[in-house]
Amino acid sequence: MTRLDRLTERLNLKEFQLRALLDVTKAINNNLGHDELLQLYARIMHDELGITRLMLFEHGQDWRCVQAFGADEGAQRKVDAAALMERYKDIQFIGAGTAPELAGFDIAVPVFHREQPLALLLIGDIDEAEQRMSPTVKHMNFIQTLTNLIAVAVENKRLGKQALAQERDKRELELAAEMQMMLIPRDLPNDERVQAAAWYQPHRQVGGDYYDVIATGDDELVICVADVSGKGMAAALLMSNFQATLRAKVQHGELPLDRLVAELNANVLERARGERFITLFIGRVDLAKGVMHFVNAGHNAPLLLRDDAVSELSTGSIALGMLPELPFVLEGKANITRGTLLCYTDGLVEQEDAAGNAFETPAIRRTLELFQAAGPKAVNEALIATFEAHRAGLPYLDDIALLTCRFS
């Protein structure tokens, strides 16, 4: 071969390489799909470079073979790409007898990006019986460049999809949080007969706690606080459905409390299919008579301060949604005249400090006794301040709902 022939060959080779890289770059810029990019890569490797045996593994959530020819599926399954990436940090000849699953492959091309493993290329085309230079050896630098380009493009597509999904999930959570906050009552009673104040702190963007004060007549209120087991979107959706059901039932008919709780239990069981349950405190207040009938369905017992004595309202039943039928429903009765009622969920009392100590009920009781004369808002503000000092910046462990009512 003359010097001119060698120069012409080199120029032709460079022209081919530049054209192939340009085709791949255009495909990436035109947002060609994952599979189409890999097909383009395979066509260049097989049809234009003459590679006869190839397996390309990519690393997403795990390692998987995404392109192969000249190797059966059994061989693909046997290759442990993760282990090979630990062994091969740069282009390396595999060598005979390295591993049975690599028989027929001659060269490994690992691809790293920012020290993170992205892909592993295995090539086999060296035929010692043929009197020619192996395409792999001849085009090694180009193959490495091309594989890096494809692997990074595929990884960027995966990360882009992941970021898009995360952004979509984030927006869905934001919308769910907005909708949930619309369901949280804002206008609580504040007149000469009853004053109420509340605080709601979800563990995440959406929560599974609920409180409400529902006027059902000129002299009657329904007070409730509830907590669904678990956290996140599923808990929030279940609680939103529960809230709508409870409001509909108390506003469109005066069911006896035991029957109301039984119907709510059936509703929770139907919606949650036994996978979640809801604790509930519900009280029906007669302002004219100064009494409250209540049922506590497995909830943290609200505190009622009256005549300088604090009582816990625990009479009721087991939590809702645990059994098809509640084994018992007991109804309690309390005199609320000139009393203050404080309801809360377990996220308040279970919050731990840096030493692992829970907030617990005594701190709530002390705050109620000290600040009840100043009104519900003052009680809540003092309790929140005490709670936050206890938490000392540690993450919230659960959703928190707090509802305080004072009766004349």
CATH fold for the domain made of 3-161: Beta-Lactamase (3.30.450)
Instruction: Report residue 49: phi and psi, to 5°.
Output: -95, -15
pLDDT digits (tens, 9 = 90+) for 257-272: 999 999 999 999 998 8
Q: What is the largest CA-CA distance in the chain?
A: 114
pLDDT band at 131 (very low <50, low <70, confident <90, very high): very low
Q: Is residue 220 scored above 50 in pLDDT?
A: yes
369-390 in b/e form (b: 16+ CB < 10 A) is bebbeebbbbbbbbbbebbeeb
Q: Pick the more confident residue, 126 or 302.
A: 302
Q: Is residue 185 scored above 80 in pLDDT?
A: yes
Q: Pick the more confident residue, 132 or 153.
A: 153
Dist CA 311 CA 314 (whole Å): 9
Mean pLDDT of 4-10: 54
Q: Is residue 97 scored above 70 in pLDDT?
A: no
Mean pLDDT of 110-130: 80
pLDDT band at 351 (very low <50, low <70, confident <90, very high): very high
Q: Is 394 helix (H, G, I), strand (E, B) or coil?
A: coil
Give pLDDT, residue 360. Answer: 92
> Which residues share a beta bridge with 403?
198, 343
Q: What is the mean pLDDT of the chain?
A: 87
Instruction: Find out whether 314 and 296 touch, Cβ atoms under 8 Å.
Output: yes
Q: Scanning the structure block, which residue is given the tokens 């390489």? A: 17
Where exactly are the structural domains of the chain? Answer: 3-161, 174-407
Q: Is residue 8 scored above 80 in pLDDT?
A: no
Dist CA 232 CA 239 (whole Å): 11
Give pLDDT, residue 205. Answer: 66
Dist CA 138 CA 13 (whole Å): 10
Dist CA 242 CA 169 (whole Å): 24
| CATH class of the domain at 174-407 | alpha beta
Give pLDDT, residue 333. Answer: 97
Q: Pick the more confident residue, 28 or 402.
A: 402
pLDDT over 70 percentage in the chain:
89
